[in-house]
Structures are given as structure tokens and as C-alpha cells.
Amino acid sequence: MIEERRSPHDFETTCSRLAAAVPEHQFGLLHTHDIHATLNAKGVDFTPECRVFEVCNPKKAADVLAVRMDLANALPCRIAVYEQDGEVIVSMIRPTEMLRILSDDRRLAEVAGDVEQTMQRIMESAVAA
């Protein structure tokens, strides 16, 4: 259900490359959550770097919501960049798998497949050598 890539770049470079790739693939970057900074600011000693990028294609989001408004709970899509065991990882929950759990509507499966392919390309752009 989780798809990941190992980055040959350092954490900051990977994050920058990911942020740049999002609009290149007709998605918008809605927000970036700095999990490391947030937890530490709340008094939790959290060492690894971790950022979660909320990304969205407005047309695809509207297509989903036109079929099932309650799926707003699953939007926007997220791509995480984090440090683990000395590596930088880029990962996402596969939209096709998540949607399969939430709905068996074929229209939604098609949208999820399109979104997943684009998110895979965004991730590849972030980790390309």
C-alpha cells in the first residue's frame, strides 16, 4: 500500500526537488508539514527529519468529490520525505489501494490510477540522479 523511493540526494535537496516537481506535473503544493520541527516545538524530542507535502490536482479532486463527497476525508494526496537508517526516503500511500478500501466505484478507480501515475512521476523527479 505504501510506495517508496530511496533518494541519492540529501534531505533538503530531495525536498526542494519534490517541491519543484509538483507544479511541473500539473499538481499544486498546498502545504508542507515539517513534522520534525512541529514535534520538537511541542517538547517531543524527535530527531529524524520528516516533511509531508500535501499535493492536489483540482480537476481530479473535483472528479472524486462529484462522485463521493465524503471522500474529502482522503484529500489532498500526501508525499512524505523522511530520514530513516541513514537514508532519505520519499513515500506515498498509493491512491489506488487507499480508494479500493473506501469505494468500489469504477469512476473513482480510474481517477485514482491517473493520480497515482502522476504522483509516481513526481517522486521519480525528486530522486532522479
Write out pLDDT tens, residues 54-101: 999 999 999 999 999 999 999 999 999 999 999 999 999 999 999 999
Average pLDDT, the chain: 96
Q: Which strand ranges, in their side-by-side order, compose the sheet holding 87-93?
A: 2-7, 87-93, 77-84, 50-56, 28-34
What is the pLDDT, as a whole number, of residue 35? 97
Place of cell 465524503: 70
Q: Write the pLDDT tens digit of every residue in 35-45.
A: 999 999 999 99
Residue 68 phi, psi (nearest 5): -145, 100
What is the pLDDT, as a whole number, of residue 129? 86
| 21 class by beta-carbon count within 10 Å (0-12 exposed, 13-18 middle, 19+ buried) | buried
Domain 2-127: CATH superfamily, name plus number: TT1751-like domain (3.30.310.70)
